[in-house]
Structures are given as structure tokens and as C-alpha cells.
Structure 1
Amino acid sequence: MMGEYHKPVMLHESIDGLDIKPDGVYIDVTFGGGGHSKAILERLGEGGRLFAFDRDPDAANNKIEDDRFELIAQDFKFLKNYLRFYRVSELDGILADLGVSSHQFNEGSRGFSIRFDGPLDMRMDQKSPLTAATIVNEYEESVIADILFQYGELRNSRKIAQVIVAARSEKPIKTIEQLKSVLQPLTPWGKENRFLAQVFQALRIEVNGELDSLKALLEQSLEMLKPGGRLSVITYHSLEDRLVKNFMQKGKFEGEVEKDFFGNKLTPFELVNRKPIMPSMEELGENNRSRSAKLRVAKKIENESV
């Protein structure tokens, strides 16, 4: 089932980045098809433990039967609270593969892909009340423009928002094909897929609060990781990657790295790889979705000055 559900990206590289200890406690915060979790369990001994998070109910169909494993059906931004329930206060490693799963993209009814018609949904957690249709049909024009600019990096976001609001005043925009039709006059010739992907990315990030969840995860990783604990994160677009890169380099999301009286950098992490790891040519050939992936790995250091 996992093979159909989702092909893990940079599987071996991301697991190697965790430097797994057989008796360690690890978290896979993006369980999906369970590919990364299975690989972690293969390296854990009898005394090891693995927790996984996934807010998509479909992921529960891939649950692994193993006494060392626990799947938590929640957003990973609640990591610390749920681990407290399991009496876990320290971790040896955290893995995050932040991409939308193949399963989610391939299910037209979920509304994630521009390839299929379906409802404008885009919810990771289908119990959540906010859908892409809500944003498109109910948000104010200026707010839609801000979302498209900040999360889709679209420079003509105000014009796009204006066209959406004009169209919805005639008829609600409820499906993917309807939205594509509304956007057609603004779609650059020869760059249709990229333009639509940016619009869909912006809506999806807003629907799921993805960047807020990522920030919460990174901040909690600093509290939860043991000295020497590893953080292994795969990102798929510049907004995610910028947050991860800054946090690993500086221990914060913005501003310059802090220094002590002697000019030494004060940062809680040591970069395991100075530059992001990219998919191999072989993987790019086998898995098209890996083309935008970047893997960054950092180790929490014992003394916060380096």
C-alpha cells in the first residue's frame, strides 16, 4: 500500500542524517505512507522507540504494527504536548518530509492537484472547517492578494485577487476547473503549470497553516532534542527551506546570528552538511516529485557557543 500511497524522497540520505542509535527515541512528524518510519524501525533495536505524526486520516491505513511504534493522528505543531502524554521529554532525532504525499496529489477529490478536477478543498486534516473554496469565495480581496504574494511569491497577486473576486460575484468558485478557468486570462503562455502551482501552493499553505506549523516544530525541536540529537528536514519550496536554513544556522527565523563578547557565534545547532543535500540523478529519474527537494541536517550542540 505504501508504494502506491507515497514514494519517500531521499529515503536513505534523510535516515542516515539521523545517525540512529539502536536504543534512541525518534519522531517521524510526516508519516504519510510510512516509508521513512519503516526505515527508522529497521535501524532501531528492541529498546528504541518511534513516534509518528500525521493529521491526514488516510495515513492511518498505513499504520505499522510494531510494539516500538506509535502513530499520533495530529498536526506536528502539537509535538511537545502529545509526547508529554507518552512521558517523553527528550528525543534523539526528528525527521520531517514536508511535501504533500503522492496519495494526496493523486486523489482528485482532495483538491491538491491542478491535474484533476475536483472540489477546492486542499485540507490535510479533513475535519478542519477551512477549505480553499472558503478562501477564494469569502476572503477579502486584499487578504487573498497577500496570501498569493506571501505564500505563492506571485508578483501580480493583486491583479489575480481582483479577477477572483470579480468572478465570484457572478458565481461561486467551487472546483479546480472553475478556478483554472477564472485564472486563464492571467496565465502566462508556456508557464501555465508553474503559475497554477504557485496559486495552489499559496492556497494550500493558508488552508493548512503550514508555515506556522513548521515554525512551531522547529522551535519545539530545540527544546526536545538531546545534546547531539539530530534534525533531518526535507523541504520542497523556498519558503519552507528559508525557515529551516535560518533556524539551523541561527536558532531563529530572522535577523543576524547572535555573538558572545568574544565574537563567537551563539547558535544551538551544528550543521551536519553545510549545503543542502539534493536528490541523485537516479532518484530524479525515478521520482519526478523529488525535483524540488532539499535535505538539511543539523545536530544540537551541548554548549551554545561555537
Structure 2
Amino acid sequence: MQTINRLEDLRKAVDALKIGGKTIAFVPTMGALHEGHLTLVREARARADHVVASIFVNPRQFGPTEDLDAYPRRMAADAALLEAEGVAVLWAPTVDQMYPRGYATNISVSGVSDVACGASRPGHFDGVATVVCKLFNQVRPDVALFGEKDWQQLAVIRRMARDLDLTQPYADDIIGVETVREASGLAMSSRNQYLTAQERDQAAQMSAAMRRAIAAIEGGAELEQSLDTMKAEILAAGFTSVDYGDLRDADTLETLFEWGGRKARLLVAARIGAARLIDNMSVG
């Protein structure tokens, strides 16, 4: 596996990988890799001739009071995991490589960026859309893979790719991979490292409460009451606050006030200890 830090070297490496019409699948990450990331890499290997992964902790998607400095960084260990999974190239740019002196461009995706995490983290999805667009232009993959755990991020990236007519990858080649969970049901996340053993046990109750809410909604229960019950159960489990717990259209993220059998996702964000955890599940 090549580990590359300069854009000019990345372009040469990508050109070499593409010789003979070979295809590239891309897995962008912020590092602190876990089984969820490695599942993306394995799926990427099944979809293309070569896999390129990136590790870049993007400062533009962190707010001024968020955990940029504390975000876990373990480049050597992460690189070893990626090499063991058969990744061809690890793109690990510096901040100066990604945002050189004088950088002045921002991508903002209206609508899907404005709700849920976008409402409580202003500017977050601008940072996501901007860095992912740059990564796509740098790597020029045939297909890119993202975890469904951050469903809103996936919706933003797909919308950005469609609106900007991106061709590598096409919007339809941005693939969501099902959330990988611990045995307890807790969605795997790099931020789970912030949890104590007790908090990890408590945090697993969020997914259980979500499943009960979905069963109620699909069974015909009143939507608002089902969501209120879910939030109360999450707080009773030991979470200190619930930022949101909404049923939304799976594509547009429009708030739904009744289910009606349409394609929907239940999205939740809640805080426990030092961590803000997000999760989502399909309804219907």
C-alpha cells in the first residue's frame, strides 16, 4: 500500500491504478478506524479493481466548541488496518494540502443540510460537502462508499454530486453501506471511544428504543406519541439530552408528521457523557 501526502503524487498513483481500464472504489474516512470502516473497504474491494482510502480530519466540519483537537488520531494503526484489507493507496493529506494559503471556496447544499444535525451544527455540512467534493476531484473514483450511520451526510453528498454533475463518481455511484453495530446494538462510531464502560452499556439502549418506536409506528400507533416515548426512554437510559428524534423522508429529509407507508428514516441524535451519538434506521 502506498501512503501519499502530496496531491501531485496522488494524481500519479491514481493514473497508474487506472491503466488498462481498471476501476477505483474510494472510501473516505477521518481515521480512528473500526469494523464499520473496514466493512466499507471490503465492500469497495468487491465493487472495483483497486481501493483508495483517505484519512483526513477535516477542520471545516467542526464547530468552534466541538471536538476537533480531541478527535482520535492514530495514523500508524489505521494505515496497518487498511493495508491488511488490501487497500492500494492511502491518501493522507495535510490541512495545508487540502486548504492551501488563500483558499476561499465553500460548497453549501440547501435543504438536506439545514435540518437535524445541520440545525444544531451550523456550517457542518458545508464543510462535509466541500471536503468530499475536493476528495472526489482528487481521487476521481468510479464508485465511493459511505456508511449509512450518518444518513444525513449521505443525503447531502448525493445531492451535491447530482447538483454539480459530478462524473467520478456519478451520484448513483455513491453507495450507502448498512450501519455496522456492536453485539449490543450500538452503532459503531469513532466517538464511542469517548464512552466509559457504563456509558457504553447505557448508549446501547438508544437503538433498542428506536426499534420499539419503529415497531409502534409500523403497527399503526400515533407518530408523535411514538417519538415522545422513544425520547423519554433514551433519557431514562442515561442520556443527558436528545437533540432530535424525527421521522423524515429518506431522500429529502423532510419532516413527516404521519408515516403513511412512505420510504422513511428514523433519525436520532443524543448526548451521553462526552459523546454526541447519532443513529438512524429504516421505517417500512
When normalised by structure 1's length, the TM-score is 0.32
- Higher strand proportion (structure 1 or 2): 2
State which structure, 1 or 2, has the greater radius of gyration over its C-alpha atoms. 1
When normalised by structure 2's length, the TM-score is 0.34
